[in-house]
Amino acid sequence: MCYGPGVAVDRVRDVVQEEWAYLRGLLPANLDELATETGALRRRRIVASGHDLLRLALAYAVEDWSLRQTAAMAQALDWHTMSDVAILKRLRACPEFLRRVIAGILERRLEFLPRSSLRIGLVDASTVSRPGSDGADWRLHLTYDLSEHRIERAQLTDSSQGETLSHIEVERDVVYVADQAYGTGPGLLHLLAQGGSFIARTSLQRIRLESPLESPEGDRFDPIGWLEELPDAAAAECEVVLRSDDESTWSLRLVALRKSPEAAEKAIVRVRRESRRKGRTPRPETLLLARYVVVLTNCEAAVTPEQILEVYRLRWQIELLFKRLKSLLHLDHLRARDPDLAQTYLLAKILAALLAEELLGRAADFSPWAYQLVPTAA
């Protein structure tokens, strides 16, 4: 590539302001229809089309402009004069419209990209807070295609939707890789019921596992004794069973590796610090579990424990993605307190990230003229 992510973001800014015609080829063709169906576009005065409305939302979010500055841009584009209140009303109506636009781009991306027999989907989420808020107000959930280095799924929810695999739209040719927060029963059961594959780290204290030899009334699987027998610097595995509320059972592989003494000590320090922050005393088993990396998977037996751990290790790349979104697009710089306006702001940021990926990848190499043509009406 001849330019990096920061330059791509600058290109999105340029096309929003000056080269909108070139960007239209990367957007769904039915923007007017989407804007009308979602109620984002009702009266076509001043903002006369879905394209104009989307351009307004991107300018507001990507440029981090105030409502008054966004109104000034609209006037500079030879639209009629708009007040900041008029801009506010239109942007507040945009969240569902932007969700549909994002979905359209992702669906088209999946349709045209070559698909390998097995893909790695990294799953994670990040929180965003309103100005003056003491906690998380919004949570952005992403699935990141590791082979294509592209966002594959994006969902914005309020803070009540935690980190879970339950919101995943399962694709059977994807192995979903997730951190410890996702290694709980409900999310894993959702993937299993849909025929999905996963590699998820687990704390073993938030999920009920059984030995294959146990009866439904048997004792809970005790991982402590098994972990204490692990050799140093060698991965090990055992078969476990996950049972749903309706008594359906799935056979899984529990893969574990003892951390080095230095890594274990750092983990224990983090556990103690977090416990002090919450006014608690860490349980002995919590301190012991901090000495291990423990992963659950339903990958076939041909995949070795070492390979499973190596795949899990790659999940740090989605953390880098969130850092890029926050540093390049200022995703965590949320000014809006109004819930609808905040959603428009965040969703438009995600749309800008997708467009930047398109400019970096397929769109720049699509043709000698470096953009996709919009079909003319017959």
> HSE on the CB side for 246, CA within 13 Å?
4
What is the reported pLDDT for 360? Answer: 72
- Rounded to a whole number, what is the distance in angstroms from the first to the last CA of the chain? 36
Sort residue 39 into left (φ over 0), alpha (ψ -120 to 50) or beta: left
234 domain-assigned: yes
Q: Among 255, 286, 314, give the residue marking a domain's end.
A: 314
- Token output for 309: 């751990």
Query: In this structure, which amino acid lies at residue 150?
Result: R
60/309 Cα distance (integer angstroms): 42
Contact indicator for 201, 179 with CB cutoff of 8 Å:
yes
Question: Residue 129 in 3-state DSSP?
Answer: coil
185 domain-assigned: yes
Question: Residue 15 in 3-state DSSP?
Answer: helix
Together in a domain, 200 and 293: yes
**Count of the separate structural domains present in the chain:** 2
Together in a domain, 10 and 94: yes
How is the chain split among helix, strand and coil, in percent rounded to 5?
A: 45, 15, 40
336 domain-assigned: yes
Mean pLDDT by 10 residues, the chain (378 residues): 47 59 82 94 84 90 86 74 89 95 84 64 92 83 88 90 91 93 94 95 90 61 87 91 91 94 94 93 93 95 92 89 85 84 93 84 50 55
Together in a domain, 24 and 71: yes
Together in a domain, 223 and 259: yes
126/103 Cα distance (integer angstroms): 19
Together in a domain, 346 and 309: no
283 domain-assigned: yes
Residue 78 Cα distances to 35, 72, 74, 245, 360, angstroms: 21, 10, 7, 61, 30
- What are φ and ψ of residue 358, in 5° steps? -65, -40
342, exposed or middle or buried, with CB in 10 Å at 0-12, 13-18, 19+?
buried
Together in a domain, 222 and 282: yes
Together in a domain, 304 and 335: no
What is the reported pLDDT for 129? Answer: 87
24 domain-assigned: yes
Together in a domain, 293 and 340: no
Question: Residue 68 in 3-state DSSP?
Answer: helix
* DSSP-assigned letters across all residues of 308-363: HHHHHHTTHHHHHHHHHHHHHS-TT-----SHHHHHHHHHHHHHHHHHHHHHHTTT
Together in a domain, 247 and 343: no
359/337 Cα distance (integer angstroms): 31
Together in a domain, 249 and 356: no
Q: Which of 156, 145, 45 is nearest to 102 (CA)?
A: 156
Together in a domain, 308 and 336: no
Together in a domain, 202 and 310: yes
The whole domain housing 244 covers: 180-314
Furthest C-alpha separation in the chain: 74
What is the reported pLDDT for 222? Answer: 81
109 domain-assigned: no
58/347 Cα distance (integer angstroms): 9
145 domain-assigned: no
186 domain-assigned: yes
